[in-house]
């Protein structure tokens, strides 16, 4: 019978710790698994990633290209046909993320006019195409544009 007093791990589940620098009889002796001499054998002899022995590193040889705009606003796109399928009465960015209509990485919501809509829906979005605005209005819905915050 197994009790807390006689529990032990399965055979081979736990390995013995590698005891380095305990003499030649340990199986890790003499150079203590560090090879012979050289920078990596010394204490504090760390080499940072990308170091190529004093040569100009590759990341500094390659030219920089382009420009990353820190204020870029990436919109999650939601088509009118997807709104029709969703079966929601009120849609904003939070509900769109919760229902899988828009991926979670987006901070802004844009409504596009692909497809048809045939029910009244209230939508809060940061941007919308003119065709989407017209289709939602014709279906008796309400589209309110929210001011996108910069930053």
- The string of pLDDT tens digits covering residues 115-128 is 999 889 999 999 99
Q: Which of 31-40, 45-54, 123-132 has the highest mean pLDDT?
A: 123-132
- The band of 62, judged by pLDDT with boundaries at 50, 70 and 90, is very high
- Tens digits of residue pLDDT in 76-115: 999 999 988 888 899 999 999 999 999 999 999 999 999 9
Token representation of residue 88: 């929601």
Output the CA–CA distances (angstroms, integers) from residue 46 to 43, 49, 53, 74, in the order listed. Answer: 8, 9, 12, 41
- Answer yes or no: pTM beyond 0.85: no
Average pLDDT, the chain: 90
CATH number of the domain at 135, please: 3.100.10.10
Is residue 79 domain-shared with residue 114, that is, in the same domain? yes
Handedness of CA 115, 119, 120, 124 (dihedral sign): negative
For residue range 15-32, what is the model confidence (pLDDT) as tens digits?
988 898 898 888 898 888
Torsion-angle region of 55 (φ positive above 0: left; ψ -120 to 50: alpha; else: beta): beta
The reply to whether 126 and 86 lie within a common domain is yes
Domain with 45 in it? 19-62
| Residues 87, 136 within the same domain | yes
Query: Which residues make Cβ contacts (< 8 Å) with residue 137, sequence separation at least 6?
Result: 143
């Amino acid at each position: 019978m197994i009790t807390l007093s006689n529990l032990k791990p399965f055979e081979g589940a736990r390995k013995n710790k590698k005891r380095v620098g305990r003499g030649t009889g340990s199986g890790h002796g003499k150079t203590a698994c560090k090879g012979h001499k050289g920078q990596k054998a010394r204490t504090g002899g760390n080499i940072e990633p990308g170091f190529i022995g004093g040569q100009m590193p590759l990341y500094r040889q390659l030219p920089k290209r382009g420009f990353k705009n820190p204020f870029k606003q990436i919109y999650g796109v939601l088509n009118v046909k997807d709104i029709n399928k969703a079966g929601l009465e009120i849609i904003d960015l939070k509900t769109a993320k919760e229902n899988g209509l828009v991926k979670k990485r987006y901070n802004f919501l844009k409504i596009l006019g692909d497809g048809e809509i045939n029910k009244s829906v209230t939508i809060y979005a940061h941007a919308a195409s003119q065709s989407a605005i017209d289709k939602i209005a014709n279906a008796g819905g309400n589209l309110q544009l929210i001011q996108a915050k910069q930053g």
